[in-house]
């Protein structure tokens, strides 16, 4: 890597960081205004709002990175072009291919950053943010809906009213069916605690149904063997797009085993796979803005065009994601198509430029 390539990479990364900070500030302010409506619910006060917004920063960082990469690269290279530094570099023998190598370094750095933020920082931060908000407003950790949530475990269907702050379940109902899909056992428990690889139910009332009638027995404690574990419960509480890849893979396997709808989680998996590549494509797409037809346009015009392209990519990505779920398109295809289309456009634009 030459000195000039390091100089170009530094200019692009610095501009990308600046754009990212501006976008983060803008979106955080809008989130703050939205959260002001909920101040006063339970113990949800100004300090809790600020802590919540701080914990959602990795989510915003991750979402805004592709757009920031495009605008930052346009701004960095455009500034060098406006100061005639790129002209001097080209006159000194630096080819567009060498400039593209510097762009490749920036793209790789942003891919690594997206992976680290998306897989290591974003999931626990988002889960902590949701727990903080739910605990402050209601005193409990929020479940999937106001009426609790359902899970399936083989021939057992489980309903859980709520998740308590320490990870226990409150209000557990377990419905067991036989091979002929007839309800045989209904177990209701006041709470469930996960210990040593299994659940311990307390204050249990069990009803057994057979041809002779219904028999009921009450016990203080009972063991509940289930593939459901606290990690999977967190998956149910937190939307799939906020989960690390390994948790998604585990839960997809769990849903497949129990013949449940899995497309939403597969879509989230492929979107996470494509996210770092999307950031890299946005960086390469910025190069023609400087050396292509817009090379003589003012900086403001380039930024506006870059913002429009970035916004178009974001909307296209979201649209294909939702259409894929609605129309049953293969999740990998719906997640890959926008990135592939923009990559082809960047490649074709570069070929024309060369």
Q: Look at residue 73 in the predicted model and tell me its pLDDT.
A: 86
pLDDT above 90 as % of the chain: 18
Is the pTM value of this prediction over 0.75?
Answer: no
- pLDDT at site 225: 81
pLDDT value for 254: 74
Question: What is the end-to-end Cα distance of the chain in Å, rounded?
Answer: 22
165 has pLDDT over 80: no
Give the C-alpha separation, 286 to 1, whole Å: 21
206, 222 in Cβ contact below 8 A? yes
Helix (H) or strand (E) holding 236: helix 230-237
User: In the predicted model, what is the mean pLDDT of residues 230-239?
Assistant: 62
Superfamily of domain 155-226: Lipopolysaccharide (LPS) transport protein A like domain (2.60.450.10)
192: nearest Cα among 160, 151, 155, 154: 160
Lowest mean pLDDT among 69-73, 83-87, 144-148, 285-289: 144-148
Average pLDDT over residues 96-109: 83
Q: Radius of gyration over alpha carbons of the chain, in Å?
A: 26
Quick one: pLDDT at residue 173? Answer: 92
Domain boundaries, the chain: 3-139+264-353, 155-226
What span, in angstroms and rounded, lies between the C-alpha atoms of 353 and 287?
10
Residue/partner pairs of 126-131 with CB below 8 Å, 24 or more apart: 126/55, 126/56, 126/58, 126/59, 126/238, 126/242, 127/234, 127/237, 127/238, 127/242, 128/55, 129/52, 129/55, 129/56, 129/59, 130/237, 130/238, 131/165
Instruction: Round to whole Å and give the CA distance between 163 and 142.
Output: 7
**Rounded mean pLDDT, 323-343:** 88
User: Above 90 in pLDDT, residue 57?
Assistant: yes
Q: How confident is the model at residue 143 (pLDDT cuts 50, 70, 90)?
A: very low
More confident residue, 352 or 4: 4
The pLDDT of 152-161, averaged and rounded, is 82
In tens, the pLDDT along 304-320 reads 777 788 788 888 888 88
Q: What is the mean pLDDT of the chain?
A: 83
Which residue, among 26, 20, 23, 31, has the nearest Cα to 55 in the 3D structure? 31
């Amino acid at each position: 890597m030459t000195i000039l390539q390091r100089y170009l990479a530094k200019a692009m990364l610095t501009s990308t960081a600046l754009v990212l900070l501006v976008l983060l500030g803008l979106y955080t302010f809008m989130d703050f205004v939205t959260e002001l409506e909920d101040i006063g619910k339970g113990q949800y006060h100004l300090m809790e709002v600020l802590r919540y917004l701080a914990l959602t920063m990795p989510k915003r960082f991750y979402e805004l990175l592709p757009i920031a990469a495009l605008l930052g690269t346009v701004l960095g290279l455009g500034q060098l072009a406006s100061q005639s530094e790129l002209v001097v570099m080209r006159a000194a023998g630096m080819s567009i291919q060498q400039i593209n190598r510097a762009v490749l370094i920036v793209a790789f750095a942003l891919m690594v950053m997206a992976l680290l933020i998306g897989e290591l920082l974003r999931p626990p931060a988002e889960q902590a943010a949701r727990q903080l908000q739910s605990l402050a407003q209601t005193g409990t950790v929020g479940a999937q809906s106001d009426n609790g949530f359902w899970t399936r475990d083989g021939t057992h269907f489980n309903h859980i009213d709520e998740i308590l702050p320490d990870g226990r379940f409150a209000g557990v109902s377990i419905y067991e069916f036989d091979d002929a899909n007839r309800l045989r056992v209904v177990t209701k428990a006041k709470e469930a605690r996960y210990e040593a690889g299994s659940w311990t139910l307390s204050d249990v009332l069990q009803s057994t149904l057979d041809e002779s009638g219904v028999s009921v027995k009450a016990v203080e404690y009972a063991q509940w063997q289930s593939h459901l574990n606290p990690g999977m419960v967190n998956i149910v509480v937190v939307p799939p797009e906020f989960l690390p890849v390994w948790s998604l893979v585990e839960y997809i396997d769990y849903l497949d085993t129990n013949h449940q709808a899995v497309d939403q989680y597969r879509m989230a998996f492929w979107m996470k796979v494509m996210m770092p590549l999307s950031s890299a494509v946005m960086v390469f797409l910025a190069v023609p803005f400087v050396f292509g037809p817009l090379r003589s346009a003012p900086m403001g015009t380039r930024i506006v065009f870059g913002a429009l392209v970035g916004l178009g990519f974001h909307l296209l990505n979201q649209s294909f994601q939702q259409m894929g779920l609605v129309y049953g398109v293969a999740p990998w295809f719906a997640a890959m198509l926008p990135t592939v289309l923009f990559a082809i456009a960047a490649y074709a634009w570069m070929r024309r430029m060369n």
